A = this chain, B = another copy of it.
């Protein structure tokens, strides 16, 4: 199990708004059965088996090209831990618990 963040930026679109492009990428992700995901203000975080995640990220990277972009910059950040199960909620809770304790 890994947690992966992806940020997909189409270049040269002519508009400073990116939400149309991002939404179309997220629609591809939404169709997956085995992956959990969460939108953040700076990207999309996905939890699941690493190869499945990378496969859908590869599909998501194509979306802006299908929508007319000529250039896409995609950043993928993988957090892969093998001594214990890594989950999106577990990661945030571990930090929050320690922050709350002061």
Q: Which residues of A contact B (CB under 8 A)?
A: 3, 5, 7, 9, 11-20, 22-23, 26-27, 30, 38-43, 45, 47, 51, 54, 58, 61, 65, 69-83, 87-89, 91-92, 94-96, 98-99, 102
Contacts and interface: CB of A to CB of B under 8 A. Distances in A.
A100 B70 CA distance: 26
A3 to B, nearest CB: 5
B19 A95 contact: yes
Contacts of A19: 91, 94-95, 98
Contacts of A13: 11-12, 14
A27 B99 contact: yes
A40 B33 CA distance: 22
